[in-house]
Amino acid sequence: MKKALVCATGIVCLLAVFAFAAEKPSARSTQSVLPKTATMNARGKVVEISEKAVRIERSIKGNAEVMEFALENPAADIAVNDFVKIDYTIKDGKLTASRVAKPKAEKNYRKNGSKQVKEKSAPVTK
């Protein structure tokens, strides 16, 4: 009798563990989770620019490639033949530029731009 009581208590405990471990249905949130889209970038020379689109030519491993981007916002201070960096995403199968900017100029650490060479004096001969 004692053995049957211990077995019954063990089974009840085991079933209780399964009941608490069961997944409870979570309430749906009112916000829908939007997948994050990858932002890519491209650098190149502007071939053509308008209010709604920009075309750049970029060189990859010696091959020239022309890319066309739809603009979210009009690009200010950008003209043809300017070197630009474009941050873009793919929306509805089109390349959409979120940011068009000229890259920062490289820093020139020398004031006059020429290489500084230490002059050596001529050897003294008698």
86-114 mean pLDDT? 80
Identify whether the C-beta of residue 98 lies closer than 8 Å to the C-beta of residue 85: no
Q: Residue 62: which region, alpha, beta or left (left: phi > 0; alpha: psi -120 to 50)?
A: left
* Within-domain flag for 119: no
The dihedral formed by the CA atoms of 7, 11, 13 and 17, expressed in degrees to the nearest 10:
150
Full-model pTM = 0.54
By DSSP bridging, strand 94-101 and strand 63-71 are parallel
Per-residue confidence (pLDDT) for residue 17, from 0 to 100: 82
- 62 assigned to some structural domain: yes
* Strand 83-91 relative to strand 63-71, pairing: unpaired
The reply to whether 120 falls in a domain is: no
- With respect to residue 96, please indicate whether it lies within any of the assigned structural domains: yes
For the segment 3-51, what is each residue's pLDDT rounded down to a tens digit?
A: 998 989 999 888 888 777 776 666 665 566 667 778 899 999 999 999 8
Closest CA to 97 of 44, 53, 66: 53
Residue 66 lies in a domain: yes
| Better-predicted residue by pLDDT, 116 or 94 | 94
Structure confidence at residue 114 as a pLDDT band (50, 70, 90): low
Q: Is 83 among the domain residues?
A: yes
What gap in Å lies between CA 43 and CA 82, rounded to an integer? 11
Instruction: Answer for the pair 79, 49: CB distance below 8 angstroms, yes or no.
Output: yes
Structure tokens belonging to residue 111: 């004031």
Q: Are 91 and 69 in contact (CB under 8 A)?
A: no
Structural domain span for residue 86: 40-101
Q: Which two tokens stand for residue 15?
A: 């079933």
